[in-house]
Structure 1
């Protein structure tokens, strides 16, 4: 490796994608983390993580509504 070459980037795991999607649901993300995600994350993992996060979010909302209506 040449001295001026940047270190090879490691592709992020599925769990890194889940973490990025989780934080994006809240809208809280540092610029540096966002830039790292844009380079390292696999788009397929992000789509799957987003769909999974959406399903969990809808499930929690339905549970809360059922609990509120049952009382």
Structure 2
């Protein structure tokens, strides 16, 4: 069973710390949202408030081409 979203749950300092740590990784916004059980737009809003930059699209699956 999939975890439920934190619909309407208050954003705490604990969530801020988790978001700060996750923002240091190469995880995308969508993956961070899944890990924190929040909507991506709410994650982005909190990241902006904290002055964080998040990856907004997955880079996996991209392959370098060349000979």
- Flag the structure with larger Rg: 1
| Structure of greater relative contact order (alpha carbons < 8 Å, 6+ residues apart) | 1
- Fold agreement, TM-score > 0.5: no
Q: Which has the higher helix share?
A: 1
Identify the TM-score tier after normalising by the shorter chain: 0.3 to 0.5
